[in-house]
């Protein structure tokens, strides 16, 4: 990876960070209808993951915490922001909202309100890719908490049994809402579980850009070439509350973790980038994110018209 | 009498019940909260209903679980068959999907299959309701779905006294009971008798008394209907407003006696416009008391769509007091602005 390869990723990761901050600010201003689960801390990993994927041949499904993934797969930021704001021009005209982002056109099949609900769907994308011989793969992204859902265990087994080109991705931030993975997850790591099912599995540190890129590339290539499932576990910090506004009284201040984006910047500096260059990239990304979210916030809320159209389509009682 | 919120009434009822009976255990996600996290404070459930229980009764009786609804609801069912009285908190009723076999096939049928040789004192508390932009998978009112399954009791409290009272009755019931608590009502206050008396399952309440029409509504819709009733008073229209409180068993006697008096029936239901609570009530009244009806009964429900996220969409989707007022006036063949 050369410096020139890394800079666009740095820019994208900062775009996502700034996008989330803009959403948080609008949430505080009362402009965001629902509770938002920000991806602060996972941006680097998500950018590295999606750099190895190409929609719509590859299809990613994600959890409730998927703003960053949708953006990293290339969904239009104004449309993503408008969806989170429940406005016209949103991915689904505001019908779905923050936890239900769907941009299959660019390879982000769906995010999900149900923990683990997205995982079998990615197996479906993998089955389509396999059957239709598109060369694509399915990617199921979830948190560590989701690994305790039956549907996730079943899908791990199914993917092995049916030999599906499916990459499982665990973003392990050590927490599910207020509960620690240490308490909730039966002692063994997601990787060890995956290996128990016969999946190839690796671990990456969410602050190590070169490690993330290398490992994701290796696993994605393996899934693509062999048509068999694999799993990657990324250790990422949760730099925010479970949702924006969560006071996190259950968490002590002492558990603060390093910020992957600062680690990314250190990597760039060590590779020869100047502080000014980094600064310029960041300010550009921040300005672009602000412009996108501001544009979305200028849109009207026409979700009443959108739902009225469905009311006549779904065949309920007149 | 003390004035308190539904959240506090439920909390007090848990405290009373658990202090009196040490076979009661509380099970769910984040209900004590902070499990395995160093240095933090108790969360007490995402809506704060179980706050303080962990500290008071200990982790042996206030059990935080992994995000594994199928297994912990099944575990609670098995425990209820073998000597414990579990109260499960299912964070949102929308999550019932992942645990549905354990509810639909296991909990609901075990007593029948044993021909009643054991009790199954399982209580599942869960939340419902739109109005806070929680969108399609965190807002559904799925009581109608569960009410269709023989073997389950289903209740939907709308006041603090009923919430505490129905929880007490549920814990004492030999059959599994699902309590649907409306998210928008946790802060709703009302007077509660100091001993938090049990409210028998299957007994509705006449909220207001009148002559012109019978309105049946529960959960948050009971309060919307109450506002509609108040607005109609000024026009000389008086309403029998019935909050059935439990859906299974349903107090059909209370409803039928009212319809025999008024001849007009409106059912308000946040659940579904097809085959749900409103349809069940209307069907039962039409079958047994067709002659008492002076006009076709009316169901006030959301449209047949998933729940939209955007504020305008969600507002349009939900029935409100003015929707209910308009429906009552239309039924009585009266103009909306007379
Ligand atoms: C089936 C189901 N159970 C519970 C929830 C409530 N809930 C939403 S997110 C969450 C924690 C998820 O933790 P994890 O999978 O680790 O993802 P993270 O939030 O850490 O990204 C919980 C319990 C849900 N949405 N769906």
Kind and range of the H or E run holding A4: helix A3-28
pLDDT at B48 over 50: yes
Tell which of B128, B158, B192 closes a domain: B192
pLDDT at A32: 98
Domain holding B156: CATH number?
3.40.50.970
Number of A–B residue contacts, CB under 8 Å: 189
- In angstroms, what is the span from residue A278 Cα to ligand 1's centroid? 35
Question: pLDDT grade, residue A312 (50/70/90)?
Answer: confident
**How far A112 CA lies from chain B's nearest CA (Å)?**
8
For residues A130 and A107, what is the distance between their CA atoms, to the nearest angstrom?
16
Which is it for the CA torsion B141, B142, B143, B145, positive or negative?
positive
Same domain, B163 and B254: no
Would the pLDDT of B335 be above 90? no
Q: What percentage of chain B reaches a pLDDT higher than 70?
A: 99
Residue A314 has pLDDT above 50, yes or no: yes
CA atoms within a 13 Å half-sphere pointing along the CA-CB vector of A158: 16
Beta pairing, strands A200-205 & A59-61: unpaired
pLDDT (average), residues A254-258: 79
Verify that B85 and B14 share a domain, yes or no: yes
pLDDT surpassing 70 at residue A91? yes
Q: Does B64 touch chain A (CB under 8 A)?
A: yes
Q: How far, CA to CA in Å, does B185 sit from each of B14, B154, B228, B321?
A: 18, 18, 18, 16
Tell me whether A309 touches chain B (CB under 8 Å): no
Q: Where are the alpha helices (DSSP H) in A162-274?
A: 181-184, 190-196, 209-226, 260-270
Residue B200, pLDDT above cutoff 70: yes
pLDDT tens digits along B76-115: 999 999 999 999 999 999 999 999 999 999 999 999 999 9
Res B192: pLDDT: 98
Written as six digits, the tokens of A102 are 């769907």
Q: Which of A95-99, A182-186, A205-209, B57-61 has the lowest mean pLDDT?
A: A182-186
Percent of chain A surpassing pLDDT 90:
92
In a domain, B98, yes or no: yes
Same domain membership, residue B223 and residue B103: no
**Test site for ligand 1: of A68, A168, A176, most ligand atoms within 8 A of the Cβ:** A176
Instruction: Say whether residue A275 is in contact with chain B using an 8 A CB cutoff.
Output: no
Question: What total number of domains does chain B contain?
Answer: 2
Mean pLDDT computed over A148-167: 97
Q: Kindly state whether residues B172 and B229 are assigned to the same domain.
A: no
Determine the pLDDT at residue B84: 98
B168, B245: one domain: no
pLDDT above 50 for A202: yes
How far apart (Å, rounded) are the C-alpha atoms in residues A230 and B49? 41
Q: Same structural domain for residues B44 and B181?
A: yes
pTM beyond 0.90: the answer is: yes
Same domain, B220 and B180: no
Does residue B43 fall inside a structural domain?
Answer: yes
More confident residue, A190 or B100: B100
Average pLDDT over residues A62-84: 98
The residue out of B192, B221, B252 marking a domain boundary is B192
> Are A243 and A221 within 8 A, CB to CB?
no
ipTM beyond cut 0.85 = yes
A187 has a pLDDT exceeding 80: no
Residue for token digits 């250190």?
Answer: A266
Task: Report pLDDT digits (tens) over A23-52.
Answer: 999 999 999 999 999 999 999 999 999 999
The pLDDT tens digits for B275-295 are 999 999 999 999 999 999 999
C-alpha angle with apex B321: A314 to B310, nearest 5 degrees? 50
Position B198 in a domain: no
Residue B292 lies in a domain: yes
To the nearest whole Å, the CA of A34 is away from the closest chain B CA by 5
Residues B260 and B130 in one domain: no
CB contact at 8 A, A300 and A89? no
User: For the segment B3-17, what is each residue's pLDDT rounded down to a tens digit?
Assistant: 999 999 999 999 999
Instruction: Single out the residue in B162, B192, B222 at which a domain terminates.
Output: B192
Q: B residues 94-133 near A, CB within 8 Å? A: 94-95, 97-98, 132-133
- Is B197 a member of any domain? no
User: What would you measure as the largest C-alpha separation in chain B, in angstroms?
Assistant: 67
Identify the pLDDT of residue B338.
46
B178 and B217 in a single domain? The answer is no
Q: What are the pLDDT digits (tens) for B120-141? A: 999 999 999 999 999 999 999 9
**Are residues B239 and B154 part of one domain?**
no
The answer to whether residue B317 sits within a structural domain is yes
Q: Supply the pLDDT for residue B263.
A: 98
For range A223-227, the mean pLDDT: 98
Residue B32, SS3?
A: coil
B56 domain residue, yes or no = yes
Map residue B177 onto helix, strand or coil.
strand
A94 interfaces chain B, CB cutoff of 8 Å: yes
Q: What is the mean pLDDT of chain B?
A: 97
Query: Is a pLDDT exceeding 70 seen at residue A316?
Result: no
Give the tens place of pLDDT for each residue, B148-199.
999 999 999 999 999 999 999 999 999 999 999 999 999 999 999 999 999 9
Annotate B127-166 with three-state secondary structure: EECCCCCCCCCCCCCCHHHHHCCCCCEEECCCCHHHHHHH
pLDDT at residue B337 is higher than 60 = no
According to DSSP, the residues that pair with B4 across neighbouring strands are B190
Do B79 and B108 have their domain in common?
Answer: yes
Adjacent-strand bridge partners of A273: none
In chain B, which residues have their Cβ closer than 8 Å to the Cβ of A301? 310-313
Question: Can you give the CATH number for the domain in which B236 is found?
Answer: 3.40.50.920
Interchain proximity B43–A145, CB inside 8 Å: no
Beta pairing partners, B126: B90, B180
Residues B211 and B300 in one domain: yes
| CA separation for the pair B155, B175 (Å, rounded) | 13
- Domain residue limits at B166: 2-192
């Amino acid at each position: 990876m050369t410096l020139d390869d890394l800079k666009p990723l740095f820019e994208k990761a900062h775009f996502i960070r700034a996008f989330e901050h803009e959403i948080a600010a609008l949430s505080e201003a009362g402009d965001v209808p629902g509770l938002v689960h920000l991806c602060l801390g996972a941006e680097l990993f998500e950018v590295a993951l999606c750099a190895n994927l190409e929609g719509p041949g590859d299809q990613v499904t994600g959890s409730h915490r998927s703003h960053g993934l949708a953006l990293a797969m290339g969904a239009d930021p104004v449309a993503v922001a408008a969806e989170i704001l429940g406005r016209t021009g949103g991915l689904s005209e505001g019908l779905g909202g923050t936890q239900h982002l769907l941009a299959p056109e660019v390879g982000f099949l769906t995010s999900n309100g149900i923990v683990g609900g997205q995982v079998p769907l990615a197996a479906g994308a993998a089955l389509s890719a396999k059957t239709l011989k598109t060369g694509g793969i399915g990617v199921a992204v979830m948190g560590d908490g989701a690994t305790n859902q039956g549907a996730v265990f079943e899908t791990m087994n199914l993917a092995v049994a049916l030999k599906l080109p499916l990459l499982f991705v665990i973003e392990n931030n050590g927490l599910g809402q207020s509960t620690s993975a240490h308490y909730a997850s039966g002692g063994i790591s997601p990787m060890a579980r995956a290996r128990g099912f016969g999946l190839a599995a690796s671990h990456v540190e969410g602050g190590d850009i070169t490690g993330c890129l290398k490992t994701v590339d290796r696993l994605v290539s393996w899934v693509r070439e062999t048509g068999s499932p694999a799993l990657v576990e990324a250790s990422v910090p949760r730099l925010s509350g479970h949702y924006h506004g969560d006071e996190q009284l259950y968490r002590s201040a002492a558990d603060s973790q390093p910020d992957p984006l600062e680690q990314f910047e250190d990597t760039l500096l060590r590779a020869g980038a100047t502080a000014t260059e980094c600064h310029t990239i960041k300010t550009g990304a921040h300005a672009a994110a602000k412009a996108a979210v501001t544009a979305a916030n200028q849109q009207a809320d026409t979700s009443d018209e959108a739902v009225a159209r469905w009311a006549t389509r779904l065949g309920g009682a007149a | 009498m003390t004035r308190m919120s539904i959240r506090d009434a439920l909390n007090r009822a848990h405290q009373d019940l658990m202090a009196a009976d040490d076979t009661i255990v509380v099970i769910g996600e984040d209900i004590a909260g902070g499990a395995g996290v160093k240095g933090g404070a108790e969360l007490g459930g995402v809506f704060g209903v179980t706050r303080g229980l962990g500290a008071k009764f200990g982790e042996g009786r206030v059990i935080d679980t992994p995000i594994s609804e199928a297994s912990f609801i099944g575990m609670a069912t098995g425990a209820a068959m073998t000597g414990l009285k579990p109260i499960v908190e299912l964070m949102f009723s929308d999550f019932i999907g992942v645990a549905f076999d354990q509810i639909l096939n296991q909990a609901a049928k075990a007593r029948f299959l044993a021909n009643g040789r054991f009790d199954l004192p399982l209580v599942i508390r869960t939340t419902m309701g739109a109005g806070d932009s929680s969108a399609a998978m965190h807002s559904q009112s799925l009581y109608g779905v569960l009410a269709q399954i023989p073997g389950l009791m289903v209740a939907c409290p709308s006041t603090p006294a009923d919430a505490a009272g129905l929880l007490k009755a549920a814990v004492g019931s030999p059959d599994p009971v699902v309590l649907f608590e409306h998210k928008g009502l946790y802060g709703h206050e009302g007077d509660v008798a100091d001993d938090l008396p049990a409210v028998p399952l299957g007994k509705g309440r006449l909220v207001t008394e009148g002559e012109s029409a019978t309105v049946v509504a529960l959960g948050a819709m009971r309060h919307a209907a109450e506002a509609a009733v108040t607005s109609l008073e000024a026009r000389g229209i008086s309403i029998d407003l019935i909050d059935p409180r439990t859906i299974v068993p349903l107090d059909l006697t209370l409803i039928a006696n009212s319809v025999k008096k008024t001849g007009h029936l409106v059912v308000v239901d946040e659940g579904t416009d097809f085959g749900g609570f409103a349809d069940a009530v209307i069907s039962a009244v039409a079958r047994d008391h067709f002659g008492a009806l002076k006009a076709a009964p009316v169901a006030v429900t959301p449209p047949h769509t998933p729940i939209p996220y955007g504020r305008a969409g969600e507002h349009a989707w939900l029935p409100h007091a003015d929707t209910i007022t308009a429906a009552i006036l239309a039924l009585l063949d009266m103009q909306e602005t007379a």
